[in-house]
Amino acid sequence: MKQTSTCLWLMLIIVSLGTPLFAQTTSGIITYEGMRKLDPSQIRVVINGDVVQPGSPDAPPDLPDVVNFSQQLVFDKNAAKEIRENSGPVIRRFEGGPGGPATRETIKVEPPFTENTYIDLGTQKYIRLLEIKKDAQVQTYRTEEPFKKTAGWQEAGKTKKIAGYTCKKATCPWKGETYTIWYTTDLPFTYSPINGLAPEKGVVLEIEGSGEAFKATKVENKSIPERKLSFSSDAQVLPADQYEDVRNKAMADFRQKMFSGGLPGGN
């Protein structure tokens, strides 16, 4: 009897130690590597001081057609925030003689506004804040939108490990094509880097379409200070369509300034 009891205790200890630590993750950071097909309007090409439109006969043939970036989801049990790095407009400068460009320079340009996306995980809605700087003034706008649901979600019956988590494969029609999605149910909330392509329950760790893709490279289990997920309530609240109008106008003004030579690399 004594030997049986010892074996039982050993088995219980082994089972306990074998439980994945990440199953208890309630706060932390998910790091994604992202890719998106590049909008030609985000590239300004200057060859020997002259502005050349991408796709024109005078444009270099090897211009990039995608932009790669890093995105983090900082989360706790109630809220989250998306933080994106290495994205935004670029200027590529070519200098050289008649035989072709001899030197190249790429300049990252920051637009005169910042945008942050927060997520209320309890009510499943996105909260977007836009700060536009003009002269010495800063105007802040806010809009909210719920998690979108897209019809046609199909489970594929396959699994694989991503960043240490077991993920299930699914497909879903989106933007006229079929996206491939891998998601885990081992995290205690629901989220997707693309609003409209989230499962009923679970976190998308990899998603891919022909024009965009995200893949989680790391999931960190760590305490997140509340201030990192809080935001000011002083912003002017706008419906989603008006918010987009304000954002698009700010971007249009910025592009006009970029193409007229008012930014680094201009004439």
Q: Return the pLDDT at 250.
A: 87
Distance of alpha carbon 44 from alpha carbon 17, whole angstroms = 56
- Any idea where the domains of the chain sit in the sequence? 25-259
In order of 8, 17, 165, 166, 249, the CA distances from 14 in angstroms are: 10, 5, 20, 21, 60
Tell me: the pLDDT tens digits for 177-231? 999 999 999 999 999 999 999 999 999 999 999 999 999 999 999 999 999 999 8
Q: Give Cβ neighbours of residue 260 (< 8 Å, ≥ 6 apart).
A: 266
Per-residue tokens: 195: 């609003």
Q: Return the pLDDT at 151.
A: 93
Could you tell me if 117 and 144 are in contact, meaning their C-beta atoms sit under 8 angstroms apart? no
User: Which pTM does this prediction carry?
Assistant: 0.78
Amino acid at 90: V
Beta strands in 88-202 (DSSP E): 90-97, 100-108, 113-120, 125-134, 137-146, 154-162, 165-174, 177-184
Amino acid at 204: V
pLDDT band at 91 (very low <50, low <70, confident <90, very high): low
Q: Return the pLDDT at 4.
A: 46
Share above pLDDT 70 across residues of the chain, in percent, rounded to a whole number: 75
In order of 189, 190, 200, the CA distances from 26 in angstroms are: 9, 12, 19
Q: Per-residue pLDDT for 14 more than 60?
A: no
Task: With H, G, I as helix, E, B as strand and everything else as coil, classify residue 169.
Answer: strand
Q: Per-residue pLDDT for 246 more than 80?
A: yes
Pairing of strands 137-146, 50-52: unpaired
Could you tell me if 200 and 124 are in contact, meaning their C-beta atoms sit under 8 angstroms apart? no
Tell me: the pLDDT tens digits for 23-65? 457 899 999 999 998 776 666 677 776 777 777 787 777 777 7
CATH code for the part of the protein at 25-259: 2.50.20
Average pLDDT over residues 129-135: 88
**Average pLDDT over all residues of the chain:** 82
Q: Which residue from 117, 112, 104, 105 is spatially nearest to 88, judged by alpha carbons? A: 112
Name the residue with higher pLDDT: 97 or 192.
192
